[in-house]
Amino acid sequence: MEPTNVKSGYLFITGSVYRRIPIFRYSAPCRIFLRSLEAYRRSYGLRLHAYVLMPDHYHLLLWFPPERRLADFLRDFKSLAGKQIIDWLRREKLEQLLDRFRLARPPKQRRDARSSILQQKTHVKVLSTSRALGQKIEYIHMNPVVERLAESPHLYLHSSARAYAGTELTPAKVDLLELPYD
């Protein structure tokens, strides 16, 4: 759900892949998602503090500026990432996988989308304390460990944990947070 009253501040965002298809098991869609996120990070003036791409969903922790509309960002970002992932599926001739992303209903107009990569609905939670921020960063980074995709957070390739560990630059710039608990 995308609340219209969320204007700015620290936001924990969770979204899913259409039909929970595990597209983020492939490296190319992960790179596309993160490059798109970086492009919109710059154009919207937001700060990305943490992220993880799980096989069929994602989590973001960001600070969103008061002069921008969150709904516009989510719509534009998901549209760009989705179109580029669809283009990748076509280039790689992964038609069977692409067919799984086709919308069940036919488009109303010729220009309307026929496929969807990222679910339209997104869960957004406003975070107002440093304790909540710290807990969400830990949750984001531990998600691959809990799901047995990595033995340690910094070993998972598609997470900001690598930036926090200082082991690697990430495709989307991560603004590290050092939080004293309140």
* pLDDT band at residue 3 under the 50/70/90 scheme: very low
Indicate the average pLDDT of the chain: 89
Q: What pLDDT, in 10s, does the model give residues 140-158?
A: 999 999 999 999 999 999 9
* pLDDT band at residue 180 under the 50/70/90 scheme: low
Share of the chain above pLDDT 90, in %: 76
3-state secondary structure of 30: helix
Q: Are 158 and 24 in contact (CB under 8 A)?
A: yes
**Which secondary structure element, helix H or strand E, spans residue 120, and what is its range?**
strand 118-127
CA atoms within 13 A on the CB side of 61: 24
3-state secondary structure of 36: helix
Rounded CA-CA distance 32/177 in Å is: 25
Contacts of 84 (CB under 8 A, 6+ apart): 32, 36
Rounded CA-CA distance 69/84 in Å is: 23
Residue at 28: amino acid letter: A
* pLDDT band at residue 172 under the 50/70/90 scheme: confident
Q: Are 176 and 168 in contact (CB under 8 A)?
A: no
Phi and psi at 72, nearest 5°, equal -65, -45
Phi and psi at 99, nearest 5°, equal -60, -30
3-state secondary structure of 135: helix
pLDDT at 102: 86
Rounded CA-CA distance 161/134 in Å is: 13
End-to-end Cα distance, the chain: 29
Q: What pLDDT, in 10s, does the model give residues 91-134?
A: 999 999 999 998 876 656 555 567 889 998 999 999 999 999 99
